[in-house]
Amino acid sequence: MKRDHQQHLGKTMKEEEDGNGMDELLAVLGYKVRSSEMAEVAQKLEQLEVMMSNVQEDDLSQLATETVHYNPSEIYTWLDSMLSDLNPPSSATDYDLKAIPGDAILNQFSIDSSSSSNQGGDTNTNKRLKCSSADSMAVSSSTAAATMNGVAETTLTTATAESTRALVLVDSQENGVRLVHSLLACAEAVQKENLAMAEALVKQIGFLAVSQVGAMRKVATYFAEALARRIYRLRPTQSPIDHSLSDTLQMHFYETCPYLKFAHFTANQAILEAFQGKQRVHVIDFSMNQGLQWPALMQALALRPGGPPIFRLTGIGPPAPDNFDYLHEVGCKLAHLAEAIHVEFEYRGFVANTLADLDASMLELRPSEIESVAVNSVFELHKLLGQPGAIEKVLGVVNQIKPEIFTVVEQESNHNSPVFLDRFTESLHYYSTLFDSLEAVPSSQDKVMSEVYLGKQICNVVACDGPDRVERHETLSQWRNRFGFSGFSPAHIGSNAFKQASMLLALFNGSEGYRVEESDGCLMLGWHTRPLIATSAWKLSTNQMVSH
Partner 1 sequence: MVEKSNNKRQRVERVPEFFINDHHDVLVEILRRLDGPSLCAAACVCRLWSAVARNDSIWEELCFRQMSPRPSLSLRSVVSALGGYRCLYFLCIRPVLARLPKLLWSRDQLQLSLSLYCVHYYERLYVGAWIGDAPPSSLMFLRKPVNVV
> Bridge-partner residues for 490, per DSSP?
538
Q: How many helices (H) and strands (E) does the chain have?
A: 22, 9
210 contributes a contact to partner 1 by CB under 8 A: no
Contacts of 14 (CB under 8 A, 6+ apart): none
303 contributes a contact to partner 1 by CB under 8 A: yes
Please, what sign has the CA dihedral across residues 509, 510, 512, 515? negative
CA distances from 158 to 134, 161, 164, 234, 292 (A): 8, 5, 10, 40, 45
Q: Show the binding pattern over residues 445-464: x = contacts partner 1 (CB under 8 A), - = does not.
A: xx------------------
Q: Which is nearer to partner 1, 295 or 521 (CB)?
A: 295
Smallest gap from residue 483 Cβ to partner 1 (A): 28
Is the distance from CB of 375 to CB of 400 less than 8 angstroms? no
Q: Which is nearer to partner 1, 174 or 439 (CB)?
A: 439
Q: Which stretch binds partner 1 (CB under 8 A): 21-29, 215-223, 260-268, 480-488?
A: 260-268
371 contributes a contact to partner 1 by CB under 8 A: no
Report the SS3 class of residue 317. strand
Smallest gap from residue 203 Cβ to partner 1 (A): 35
Binds partner 1 by CB under 8 A, chosen from 292, 320, 421, 452: 292
Q: Which is nearer to partner 1, 40 or 446 (CB)?
A: 446
Q: Which is nearer to partner 1, 75 or 516 (CB)?
A: 516
Binds partner 1 by CB under 8 A, chosen from 78, 109, 222, 254: 254
How many Cα atoms within 13 Å fall on the side-chain side of residue 294? 33
Is the distance from CB of 310 to CB of 280 less than 8 angstroms? yes
Q: Which is nearer to partner 1, 105 or 454 (CB)?
A: 454
Q: Which is nearer to partner 1, 17 or 446 (CB)?
A: 446
Q: Which is nearer to partner 1, 409 or 428 (CB)?
A: 409
208 contributes a contact to partner 1 by CB under 8 A: no
Is the distance from CB of 172 to CB of 68 less than 8 angstroms? no
Q: Which is nearer to partner 1, 172 or 268 (CB)?
A: 268
Smallest gap from residue 526 Cβ to partner 1 (A): 18
Is the distance from CB of 47 to CB of 107 less than 8 angstroms? yes
Footprint of partner 1 on residues 150-189 (CB under 8 A)? none
Q: Residue 88, class by beta-carbon neighbours within 10 Å (0-12 exposed, 13-18 middle, 19+ buried)?
A: exposed
DSSP E strand boundaries for 333-429: 345-351, 372-378, 405-411
Footprint of partner 1 on residues 218-247 (CB under 8 A)? 244
322 contributes a contact to partner 1 by CB under 8 A: no
How wide is the angle at C-alpha 536 spanned by C-alphas 535 and 542, nearest 5°?
A: 170
Nearest to 413 by CA among 249, 527, 491: 527
Size of the site for partner 1 (CB under 8 A): 47
Smallest gap from residue 144 Cβ to partner 1 (A): 27
d(CA 37, CA 433) in angstroms, rounded, equals: 43
Q: How many residues in the chain? A: 548
320 contributes a contact to partner 1 by CB under 8 A: no
Footprint of partner 1 on residues 475-534 (CB under 8 A)? 496, 499-500, 503-504, 506-511
Q: Which stretch binds partner 1 (CB under 8 A): 18-26, 125-133, 140-148, 290-298?
A: 290-298
310 contributes a contact to partner 1 by CB under 8 A: no
363 contributes a contact to partner 1 by CB under 8 A: no
Angle between helices 445-463 and 214-231 (to 10 degrees): 40
Smallest gap from residue 164 Cβ to partner 1 (A): 19
Smallest gap from residue 448 Cβ to partner 1 (A): 12
Beta pairing class for 522-527 and 530-540? antiparallel
Q: Which is nearer to partner 1, 222 or 253 (CB)?
A: 253
Footprint of partner 1 on residues 428-447 (CB under 8 A)? 440-442, 444-446
Angle between helices 172-191 and 137-148 (to 10 degrees): 60
CA distances from 82 to 41, 47, 79, 86, 100 (A): 12, 10, 5, 6, 14
How wide is the angle at C-alpha 198 spanned by C-alphas 195 and 204, nearest 5°?
A: 150
Q: Find the helix or strand (DSSP H, E) in which 111 lies.
A: helix 102-112
Q: Which is nearer to partner 1, 83 or 161 (CB)?
A: 161
Residues of the chain by 3-state class (helix, strand, coil), percent to 5 = 55, 10, 30
Q: Which stretch binds partner 1 (CB under 8 A): 176-184, 212-220, 277-285, 327-335?
A: 327-335
Binds partner 1 by CB under 8 A, chosen from 261, 312, 429, 473: 261
Binds partner 1 by CB under 8 A, chosen from 21, 150, 307, 484: 307
Q: What is the DSSP letter of 320?
A: P
d(CA 161, CA 453) in angstroms, rounded, equals: 32
91 contributes a contact to partner 1 by CB under 8 A: no
Smallest gap from residue 509 Cβ to partner 1 (A): 6
43 contributes a contact to partner 1 by CB under 8 A: no
- Which residues of this chain interact with partner 1, rule CB under 8 A? 244, 248, 251-252, 254-256, 258, 261, 265, 268, 291-292, 295-296, 298-300, 302-303, 305, 307, 329, 333-334, 336-337, 340-342, 440-442, 444-446, 496, 499-500, 503-504, 506-511
